[in-house]
Each structure stands twice: as structure tokens, then as C-alpha cells.
Structure 1
């Protein structure tokens, strides 16, 4: 059997010391096994394979949806603070006093009813819970949705969403529920996260069927007698969260940052205004 003649063309174009008799199907260069990229027909050299790769589409605009950290610090902090308050609620001798001091009822923002004016309860109540099951369910939902939204929105936007959604839940309690019905729980804020997540995911073409089922089940449970759930907070938080989710999606361009801030401030002002109007009626 005769040996193939030694020829410069029979050596790899990237490794001149490696003899080969395989040619790139596109440019005809000689390629050694290390430089061969399998193609639909034959092989390509490294350069042709690189040129043949589809270019990544450039973003149409710079998005404001970015977080500089992959760690959900705010979510963990919210869970920790909420758990701390529940521990205080469980301490014999002071637990009941803690709950009574921080829970919310419409009477605390309706001076005409004779209760002291304590509007901060609209926020403090979202860190309180009525039972360990109530706490665990809400914190599990916060852990699931919170991590995704914190990474998507960034810490400041995410915390704003959580607090304003919680406030929205309290406003709904103020407008709809009995003014002497004390409420506790992060459900309004949690439903706000769900509402925002639904709008954002819908905007990007995601599948929301499972989320809709989860929200629907929880809303229905809130209307069943005997469960003691403030369905008003669920509705208020859901509406506020969905509104902010719409704001976030419509002002994603980094050049719209000021507009986004103004709209979020307007949302907070609107919730406060509803509370003031209810107090004056």
C-alpha cells in the first residue's frame, strides 16, 4: 500500500504539524480532528462553523428589569421579619398585646368611629399572622413568587411592589369590610405578587393557567364561611399588584425610569387618597 505524498495542503490550517486529509465542506481547508465541527453534511472548520452560527438578536432597548444580585435578599428579609413577629405573637403574656397593637381594622383610619387614628397599622398588619398554618402558607408563596420577582424587578421595585400591594389589601379592607373587623396577614401582599407576576408573565407570552387556578382557589376559599380569611385584602392586593405589574411592563425602557417612579408614587398616593376619602365619608 503506497503512502500518500507529503503536501502542505494535507496539513491542518490551524495546526501545521498535524497531517490530515479531511476538508471543510464550505471553504475547502484541511482540518485535523480537533478542528472539525460536525455539520449536517460532512464537517466544517472552526471558522466556518463560527460564521454559520445564528447571531444573537440584539435587545430592542435597554431594560430597567435588572438586579445586580442573584441572591433574593429582600425575600429572605421579609420572611425573617414576618417570622420574628409571629414569634412575638406566640410569647405567653405579650403575644396577644403584640397582635392587638399591630393588627388593622377600618376603625383605625376612620376617626368618626371613636378608635385612635393609627394608619400605620395598614402596613404593620401584613407582618402579623393568625396561626402557624397561615404563616407557613403565606411564606411559602412569598418564597416561590418573591425570588422570581426580586430577580426580575430588582430589590427596590420588588420591595415597593410588596409594600404597596399590602397597603392595597388594607385599603380594600377599609372600604369593604366591617370597620371593627381586625385583620392580620401578608395575604394582600402575596396576592399582589401574584397579580404582578401574572401581568409580567402574560406580557412576555408565558403560560398563566396554573397561576390562575391557584389564585382562583384562594379567592374562593376566602368566601367560604368559617375560614376567617379577609377576602377583601386578597382582592385589594391582587388589584394593586396587577396595576404595578402593568406599570413595570410599560416602563421597562431605562429612559422611562422617572416615569416609572412617578407612576408608582401616584399609585401609593391614590391608595392613601382612597383611605382619606373613606375617613371623610
Structure 2
């Protein structure tokens, strides 16, 4: 059978068949057609399909019409690669390197007073970025969150007192973060981490002595502990192995000198509340509910910090 794309008259008044040409390369004859739009396509334009071949435009249109894979809580499937967890660890390590460099040979890496002397001491960088309510510095200036240094509520979750302090938190982040990021997706996991870290630092600002600095990713880590318990329960999975680890960490929180109780408990509570919002959002308009719930938590934390600031400054 001969393909026809038109007819042309011959010298005797009859017609002769013309060979189809690729719609993208008119100089190339072809007998292959796209199984979706039926246009002729040459070998260069063929794209394998489940049945036959398709043209590049039909392949692109099909990709746009396919919904990307989502997790059980509406997050992106890219979370299975753990990119956010790895970036957070890298950022914490970088800040530790900068902290040690800022100390010019002091006790930034180890030899401080905390954790049996294994934790490092303060550095110019931790002095700059740790949670500090209000204090008078050696040069006579006054600083702290109450004096407008609000950035401390965020920077403190990326600073550590020594390498041991850093390693303990990063090991926990590696274990917990990859699991949570895989089931929540990158954006929802990042929101959980930052809200829990901020919640712990706001708790330090509210309940700890105003002139006592505090830093560390453990505010966010305790939030992840609470979140993984909530998420696993929501998925119907066994949580019996999580509870003992959480209890052990709480015992350390209350018994080891130098650990911020307010920071750990604040991160734990905010992490649990955020996880409840993410895990139990209704399927209809789930993304809107999760975003609104997270925004409410953020506004509540900032409101508490404002109230504390007013108490300290008399405003």
C-alpha cells in the first residue's frame, strides 16, 4: 500500500503519489507517524512511547500532563535523596569551621566547660550569633535579642560549642532528617526543621537567664524527635523504638550541666505541633492548610518574642 500526502498531475492528466516528509525536517522522507498526532516523523524526531513512537511536541505535552509523584503528606518525591538534610549538615559544619577560625587558637574545638570538658568554649562567632536575651558586653555596649538583634533566634541553631557538640547533633540530624525528608518532602521538612529550631530558641529567650548565651542545632533536633513520633503514628508504623531514645535524650537534658532545658523542650513542643499540622492536614487543599498552619506557628513564636522584648525593655 502506498502512503499519500497529496496528488500531483502528470503529463497525461493522471496523478502520482508523493512520499510523506518529516514535519520538522521537510527534506527527509519518512513513512513513520507519531502515534499521538499522526504527523510524519523522521528517525531523529522519533521518541519511544509505550506503543510506537511519538514526536517531540507530543512527548513534552504528555510530560506536562503527568502529575509529579508526591509523598503521603503532599511533599515532593525528591525528599528521598535527602538533599535538604545534607545541606543543613554542610551549613552547620561550615559554621563550625568559621567559629574555630574566629577564635584564633582558643578553645573553640574542645576543652571548654560543658559535657565533662569535651565541648569547646565560646568564640567571637558564637558570641555574635547565640541566643542572648540582654547583656552588657565588655566594651560597655548592650546587646541581645531585646536590643534588636533578632537574628540570634535563627543563627543560634547553626552554631555549636565545639566539635563534640557538633558531631552529636549532626549524627542525630543524619539519622532523623533523611527519614523525615523522605516522607514529608524537602520543603515541608525544611519548614519543620526551621520552626522547631526557632521554637527552641524563642523558649530560651522566654525562660532562660537573659545574659546566658545558648546555641546549637539541638533545638531543631528535638523537634525532629517529636515529629518522627507523630509522623510514624500517622502512617500506622511502630514507634516503640523511638520512645526510649527520646526518653534517654530527655534524661540527658535534665541531668547534664550546660544543656539548655528550655531550648530542648521548646523545640520538642514546636516540632510536635508542626508535625501534627503537616501530618493531619485534610487531603482537600492540604497544601493550603499546611502552609497556613505553619504560618500561624511562626506568627505565634514571633508574638511571644515580642512580648518578652516588651517585658525586658519596658516597652
Tell me the TM-score normalized by structure 2.
0.65
What's 1:123 paired with?
A: 154
Structure 1 residue 246 corresponds to structure 2 residue 261: no
| 1:98 corresponding residue in structure 2 | 125
**Match of 1:107?**
134
Extract unaligned runs of 5+ from structure 2.
1-70, 109-122, 136-140
| In structure 2, C-alpha distance between the alignment counterparts of 1:232 and 1:126, rounded to whole Å | 14
Following the alignment from structure 2 to structure 1, what is the Cα–Cα distance between the partners of residues 241 and 286? 32
2:287 is aligned, of 239, 257, 266, to: 257
| 1:138 CA drift (Å) | 0.5
Corresponding residue number in structure 1 for 2:303 = 273
RMSD (Å) for aligned C-alpha atoms: 2.1
2:156–2:214: 8 Å Cα contact kept in structure 1?
yes
Indicate whether 1:194 and 2:225 are aligned. yes
SS in 1 for 2:180: helix
Question: Equivalent residue for 1:180?
Answer: 211
Change (3 A) 1:72 1:179: same
Instruction: Identify the match of residue 75 of structure 2 among 53, 66, 70.
Output: 66
> Aligned residues, how many?
216
* 1:140 aligned onto 2:171: yes
Instruction: Please list the CA deviations of residues 21-67 of structure 1 after superposition, one character each: whole Å capped at 9, or x if unmatched.
Output: xxxxxxxxxxxxxxxxxxxxxxxxxxxxxxxxxxxxxxxxx944332
Shift in Å at residue 213 of structure 1?
Answer: 1.3
Please name the residue that 2:188 is paired with.
157
Q: Within 2, Cα distance between the matches of 1:155 and 1:175?
A: 30
Contact 1:64 1:254 in 2 (8 A): no
Q: Is the 8 A contact 2:75 2:188 kept in 1?
A: no
CA contact (8 A) 2:157 2:197 kept: yes
Q: Which residue of 1 aligns with 2:200?
A: 169
Q: Larger % of helix: which?
A: 1
Query: 1 CA distance for matches of 2:266 and 2:302?
Result: 13
Deviation of the 1:225 alpha carbon: 4.9
Residues 231 and 275 in structure 2, CA contact (< 8 A), matched pair in contact too: yes
Local SS of the residue matching 1:106 = coil
- For residues 164 and 207 of structure 2, the distance between their equivalents in structure 1, rounded to whole angstroms, comes to 25
Work out whether residues 200 and 266 of structure 2, in 8 Å CA contact, stay in contact via their aligned partners in 1.
yes
Q: CA deviation at 1:104?
A: 1.1
Aligned-pair CA distance for 1:224: 1.8
The higher relative CO (CA closer than 8 Å, separation ≥ 6) is in 1
- C-alpha offsets along residues 202-226 of structure 1, whole Å, 9 cap, x if unaligned? 1222222221111111112122253
Match of 1:45 in 2: none
The residue that corresponds to 2:89 in the other structure is 79
Report the TM-score when normalising by structure 1: 0.72
